Amino acid sequence: MIFMIIPSQTIYLLLLLGIAIAILVANLFNINISLIVTLIFDIIVLGLAIWDGLDVKSHRIQVTRYPLHRLSIGRDNPVTLSLQSGNRLAKIRLRDYYPLEFSVSNSILETTLKPHSSEEITYTVNPHSRGEYPWGDIQVRQLGKWGLAWHNWQIKASQMVAVYPDLVGLRSLSIRLALENTGTMRQARRLGVGTEFAELREYGIGDDTRLIDWKATARRSRPLVRVLEPEKEQTLMILLDRGRLMTAQVQGLKRFDWGLNATLSLALAGLNRGDRVGIGVFDKEITHWIPPERGQHQLSKLIESLTPIQPVLLEPDYFGAVTKLVNQQTRRALVVLITDIVDVTASAELLAGMSRLAPRYLPFCVTLRDPEVDKLAHISTQNIQEAYTRGVALDLIAQRQVAFAQLKQKGVLVLDAPANRISDELVERYLQLKARNLL
């Protein structure tokens, strides 16, 4: 454990006071006496400072960092330090050596602990890339009793920390879906939506008479209707593009990371609704293929398998990815392809690949829009440069709309949403598809 003594601001003020005393003595006596007095004063001050700093060593506070679990990319992840003081008032400054690649809410933490007390200090870090990062030690500075010096030391607490996709968002979504499944939002379910029998219920005014169960009505001597819900145990296949366009930065994260977050959110929703979920990640070929399975164990498998994947500067082969899926998945399925498009020409292969899926499968193309492009397209221009920028943004939006129109003509469902909202909107669209029994 390395430590050293650092002078406080009080020391510098005292040294300035020594200079003033030296000038006064020089005026009253002579320069030699002034130098002697100044030297003695400085030695006394520095000696007291060293003593003050060393005295802290026997009164150090105890600092412990709570275990760092898996961090979520693009989220403010809390980091908590636990402090325990001894038998003396302790003024503290802390610095936790988090990875430099992270954004942090507060790099220097300060507090004052009363004798024999404890306190927890929490700050947040926001990682912008997935992967493993080295987390360093904790640097502690504790002010001496007289306020002349800081006792500085480091506490060994280094470790490797893993940054995962948006696990915080997955937990929130899981709670929401669980509430729906347990009946908290049961009122939102309508009679006759879907094909799978859920329960019997007494007939009410406005119910569809075609849903009356006549046998149950005869047994109970009162009219009962069947409540239907969307069919379960269907298949959801997700194709995630990790090609060139997915390497671009959007709202602080790579477009691929937004797509990966949306992929896992959609997978969670599908597994929660009883579907079999499989995923393929591709660039110029399928690089990762996870066959469809049902059950919550599949989500853990998906998270562990997909987290290490990074986008690459290769053009994606949409047709090849779709061909692989058709060969592997013979049953009808909802096929969601998450990517981005630039213009009609670049999306020609996407159109060809998605067209091959209809009508045997239900194709669904999801694109991640950059909110900055929307902003540039709607700003008022003040000069030629701004007008040119706005013109380019409007042209990009127009070409995307043409490409989407062509996809819709081929029977492809389309969702174009801002990258930072893609997860919520994709899950909502999926739940609507399930409710309308389009699979």
User: How would DSSP label each residue in 150-162?
Assistant: EEEEEE---EEEE
Beta bridge partners of 104: 125
Tokens of 45: 């001050």
**Below-50 pLDDT ranges, the chain:** 1, 184-193
Token pair 């998270």 is found at: 303
Q: b/e map of 268-298 (b: 16 or more CB within 10 Å)?
A: bbbbbbbbbbbbbbbbeebeeebebebeeeb
Measured on CA atoms in the order 326, 413, 74, 65, is the torsion positive or negative? negative
- Alpha helix (H) residue ranges in 29-166: 31-55
Q: What's the confidence (pLDDT) of residue 187?
A: 46
Measured on CA atoms in the order 15, 16, 21, 26, is the torsion positive or negative? positive
State the pairing for strand pair 3-7/71-72: unpaired
DSSP secondary structure code for residue 85 in this structure: -
- Alpha helix (H) residue ranges in 307-436: 318-328, 348-357, 371-377, 384-409, 422-435
Q: b/e map of 147-175 (b: 16 or more CB within 10 Å)?
A: ebbbbbbbbebeeebebbbbbbbbeebbe
3-state secondary structure 372-387: HHHHHHCCCCCCHHHH
- Give Cα separations from 40 to 11, 27, 33, 64 (angstroms): 15, 18, 11, 42
Q: Are 166 and 72 in contact (CB under 8 A)?
A: yes
Task: Report the C-alpha gap between 363 and 408 in whole angstroms.
Answer: 10
Which fold, 1-163? Immunoglobulin-like (2.60.40)
State the pairing for strand pair 103-104/118-126: antiparallel
Q: Are 93 and 113 in contact (CB under 8 A)?
A: no
The CATH classification of domain 235-435, taken from the options 3.40.50.300, 3.40.50.410, 3.40.50.970, 2.60.40.1930: 3.40.50.410
Q: What's the confidence (pLDDT) of residue 84?
A: 95
Angle between helix 9-28 and 31-55 (nearest 10): 160
- CA-closest candidate to residue 331, choices 357, 298, 351: 357
Q: What's the confidence (pLDDT) of residue 113?
A: 94
Using CB atoms within 10 Å of the CB of residue 79, give its burial: 0 to 12 exposed, 13 to 18 middle, 19+ buried: buried
Span(s) in the chain for CATH 2.60.40.10: 1-163
Q: Does residue 274 sit in helix, strand or coil?
A: coil
Query: pTM score > 0.85 for this model?
Result: no
Q: Are 17 and 42 in contact (CB under 8 A)?
A: no
DSSP secondary structure code for residue 248 in this structure: S
Q: What's the confidence (pLDDT) of residue 296?
A: 87
Task: Report the C-alpha gap between 285 and 354 in whole angstroms.
Answer: 16
Q: What's the confidence (pLDDT) of residue 216?
A: 74
Tokens of 3: 């430590």
Q: What's the confidence (pLDDT) of residue 26?
A: 77
